[in-house]
Amino acid sequence: MTAWFGCALTSGGEFHVSPTGSNSASGSSSAPWLTIQHAVDSTGAGDVVKVHTGIYEEKVRFIATGGTSAHPLIIEAADGESPVIDGTNLSPTFSATALVEFYQASDIVFRGFELRNFRTTSQSQTPSAIFMSGDCVGLTIENNRIHDIETLHANGNAHGIACYGDTEGGISELTIRGNELYDLVLGSSEAMVLNGNVFDFTVSENHVHHCNNIGIDLIGYEGTFDDPLLGPTMDRARNGVVSDNLVHHIDTVTNPAYGGDRSAAGIYVDGGADIVIERNQIHRCNIGVEVASEHSGKAASRIHVRENVIWLNHIGGIYTGGYNTNKGFVEDCRFTHNTLWKNDSDLTDTGEILLQHDVRTSVFEHNIVVSNAQALMVANPFLANTGNAFDYNFYGYPSGQPGARFSWKKVDYDPGDDLPNELDGGDLFITGLESTAGLVDPSGAENFRLNSGAYPIDRGDPAFVIGSGELDADGNNRVVHSRVDLGAYEFGSTPPSIPSDLSVTPATPQSSAPLTWILGVSDHTGFELQRALGSSGAFETLANLAPEDRAYEDEAVYPGQFYRYRIRAVRDDIPSPFSNEASVTIAAPAAVGSGATIQGGFSPADPGSDFRGLLSFRIDNRLRMTGTFVMGSFRRTVTGRFDGTGHLELPPLVRTGLDPVEISLDLDFDSDDLPLTGTVMAGAESAALEGGAVARIPNPFAGLYTVALVSPEGAGMPEAPGYGWLRVPARGAAAFTLRLPDGKTVTAKSYV
């Protein structure tokens, strides 16, 4: 046999929660806790809490707790499992309005849960799935599914995820990623909101849909951080990124708070500052993206809306400015490289882009704008707009229309009319039939990429400078040829072919995870293989591979862990979309036993004595051996430690009584033809211990197992705690023979 040893190092402990557990238990996998709250109260920095499948009817509160940036506290679904926090039999109260609440919390990861069925009929209560306030830093809300959070009062409020920065420290270093929010009845509030002193945040890869008010909202100046000195600059969401989200079917038409009006944006900035909104897909909302300020004298500032695809929204694609003259203003914002297609589907004559009250020094550039049958590209029914510029945009109108229409400062402009300098005074102003835009398949597959020969290719500003971290809507290079394209997608940055049929099967024994995949067209320069731990862990790059590779063996796997894999092809810096996911659970090591029997006997003092169970031992994860040695009536516990080369030398054992004799054991593990050799010394006599594999039919138990070397039945030897790994060969069984000087033999075989 070949012995394998290994250990995993962690900065904290792993604990478990199960509906069948007990809060008086240890929290181990075999003795889990009962409630998530007990786990939160009992753990800290570096700990990982695995919550198992089941329904948890409880409110969970993280109050003045958490981890550190290096060792966060992780509360997550157990691998491959689906825990549910259910509020059916709970109600929001003044002190606990959410299913999960964070207050004065730091460095916590909360992921993999379903949160559902939390509602109220009270106007004064605001139910939320997740709510955070106070000084919070380093929180990650990831891969959760949130639905059926509802206010049933006509003038009520509810949230899916609500982050209220109400202190001077505020909420910072916040990540909200990969969550799904849907079927929320919100009243006058939002599905996801960052309100007040919230800064340095990332909101990415979320799916928000079928809600009756705003999808993602970034708010300022509502008095959330109500400080007379600091509030004017700090009471606003700022310094953040909202990227790669999918938002659709956001509609207030049935919301009693709006009296049948449609007014909710998929993504809304109300008074925020220094925020990038990029690579989002927004469709079938009332409004695609809105940048405004609802507070007189206050501004939404330096918002960059770029590389978004915005289509079929009910009353407009992009709105900006205060919605009436009593509201605030917008300044120094940029709306660039967006693709807008047939918004204002309700035909309200608000156009694809609507400038409302008091838009200042803002730029609209490098956009593709394709209108509905009304052919209204830009509407501006207010007078208070200054210093704005439109340039390098393509405006497409449908077949059957005479051309593109515009409205500017309450004046309508029909096709052929001279336009104000703000609209056509730049370097490139072009209108044409929508087919000229050259979109791949906007009406069928809703594919808004560019066909070869499309007019917008290489039509951008020759002096264009790529913004920090700027990519096209596919996440590819923003500039491929000599000039940037118009719209959200860059032609020529079309990604290489997508790998397919990614599969993984654990090796035998399960010490690695071999992967294979297929690539139909070789238009790539390499591969990026990613791996995630558990059902909700984030993917990280595992390996960058050569273009000819079609297989990879992941050797850094551990027993009992669940891994997910995905791969994408790369052409220079341009990646393909990811392949299918492949997953594998590395089997937790099973027990293997070994013992010894003798026919006849051997003892220097009494050659006729019989004994059984020469040696029974286990090896722990630090390569320490603990076991029991038996010779006749003589029994001793033996301990030792491998020296790193596979050699184990045990201290001598002294047999007392009428026949004192020193007994010693000396063992070596090797991976060659004789995997195990050793010597038993009894006084002046010695016996050699040898091991080898017997070539027989293929062994159905071949694999990597936990060593549990127990004595044969009847030997009565205790087992020592610990574990090791044993590789069982594919053919034959590991067998050991002890050859004694008197010709007697002791045999031992491993068994499962």
Q: Name the CA radius of gyration of the chain, rounded.
A: 34
pLDDT in tens, 19-76: 999 999 999 999 999 999 999 999 999 999 999 999 999 999 999 999 999 999 999 9
CATH classification for the domain delimited by 500-585, as one of 3.30.413.10, 2.60.40.10, 3.40.50.2300, 2.30.29.30: 2.60.40.10
Determine whether domain 12-261 maps to CATH 3.90.25: no
- Kindly tell me the sign of the dihedral angle through the C-alpha atoms of 267, 271, 272, 278: positive
Among all chains, which residue has been given the structure tokens 């700090």? Answer: 234
pLDDT in tens, 300-335: 999 999 999 999 999 999 999 999 999 999 999 999
Cβ atoms within 10 Å of 20's Cβ, excluding its own: 8
C-alpha 547/C-alpha 567 separation (Å) is: 12
Contact 160, 149 (CB under 8 A): yes
C-alpha 616/C-alpha 717 separation (Å) is: 7
- The residue among 660, 537, 553, 667 whose CA lies nearest residue 615 is 667
At residue 436, the 3 state secondary structure works out as helix
Q: Which two tokens stand for residue 185?
A: 């009845």
* pLDDT (0 to 100) of residue 77: 98
Domain 12-261 shares a fold with domain 500-585: no
β 500-504/513-518 pair status:
antiparallel
Report the predicted TM-score, pTM, of the whole model to 2 decimal places.
Answer: 0.70
* Cis peptide upstream of residue 256 (ω within 30 degrees of 0): no
**Residues 310-330 as b or e (16 or more Cβ within 10 Å = b):** bbbbbbbbbbbbbbeeebbbb
pLDDT in tens, 216-229: 999 999 999 999 89
C-alpha 160/C-alpha 727 separation (Å) is: 50
- The residue among 476, 481, 393 whose CA lies nearest residue 437 is 393
SS3 assignment for 369-399: EECCCCCEEEECCCCCEECCEEECEEEEECC
C-alpha 165/C-alpha 236 separation (Å) is: 9
- The residue among 29, 112, 175 whose CA lies nearest residue 564 is 112
Cβ atoms within 10 Å of 468's Cβ, excluding its own: 5
* pLDDT (0 to 100) of residue 574: 77
Contact 262, 255 (CB under 8 A): no
* pLDDT (0 to 100) of residue 744: 43
C-alpha 217/C-alpha 205 separation (Å) is: 15
* Cis peptide upstream of residue 547 (ω within 30 degrees of 0): no
* pLDDT (0 to 100) of residue 51: 98
C-alpha 175/C-alpha 201 separation (Å) is: 6
- The residue among 592, 593, 561, 567 whose CA lies nearest residue 581 is 567
Contact 403, 436 (CB under 8 A): no
Domain ranges of the chain: 12-261, 500-585, 591-749
DSSP 718-735: PPPS---EEEEPSBS-EE
* pLDDT (0 to 100) of residue 730: 41
User: Which residue ranges in the chain fall short of pLDDT 50?
Assistant: 1-10, 589-624, 642, 644-646, 655-660, 668-678, 686-752
Helices and strands (H, E) in the chain, number of each type: 3, 67
Cβ atoms within 10 Å of 551's Cβ, excluding its own: 9
Contact 461, 429 (CB under 8 A): no
Alpha-carbon torsion, ordered 75, 77, 79, 81, to 10 deg: 170
What are the two backbone dihedrals, phi and then psi, of residue 436, each rounded to the nearest 5 degrees?
A: -65, -25
Say which DSSP state 260 is in.
Answer: T
Contacts of 223 (CB under 8 A, 6+ apart): 231, 235
Cβ atoms within 10 Å of 132's Cβ, excluding its own: 26
C-alpha 740/C-alpha 348 separation (Å) is: 99
* pLDDT (0 to 100) of residue 704: 39
Residues of the chain with pLDDT > 90, as a percent, come to: 68
N-terminal to C-terminal alpha carbon distance within the chain: 14
C-alpha 675/C-alpha 691 separation (Å) is: 6
- Cα 218 to Cα 87, 164, 275, 279, 459: the distances in Å are 27, 11, 9, 17, 33
Task: Return the H-helix or E-strand segment holding 421.
Answer: helix 421-424
Contacts of 313 (CB under 8 A, 6+ apart): 266, 282, 283, 284, 285, 286, 287, 288, 343, 344, 345
C-alpha 301/C-alpha 593 separation (Å) is: 70
Contact 147, 116 (CB under 8 A): yes
Cβ atoms within 10 Å of 19's Cβ, excluding its own: 16
Among all chains, which residue has been given the structure tokens 């809105």? Answer: 290
The number of CA neighbours under 13 Å toward the Cβ of 664 is 10
Contact 526, 572 (CB under 8 A): no
C-alpha 507/C-alpha 515 separation (Å) is: 10
pLDDT in tens, 170-218: 999 999 999 999 999 999 999 999 999 999 999 999 999 999 999 999 9
Q: What value does the mean pLDDT of the chain take? A: 82
* pLDDT (0 to 100) of residue 726: 40
At residue 504, the 3 state secondary structure works out as strand
β 745-749/597-598 pair status:
antiparallel
Contact 566, 530 (CB under 8 A): yes
C-alpha 706/C-alpha 5 separation (Å) is: 10
Residues in the chain: 752
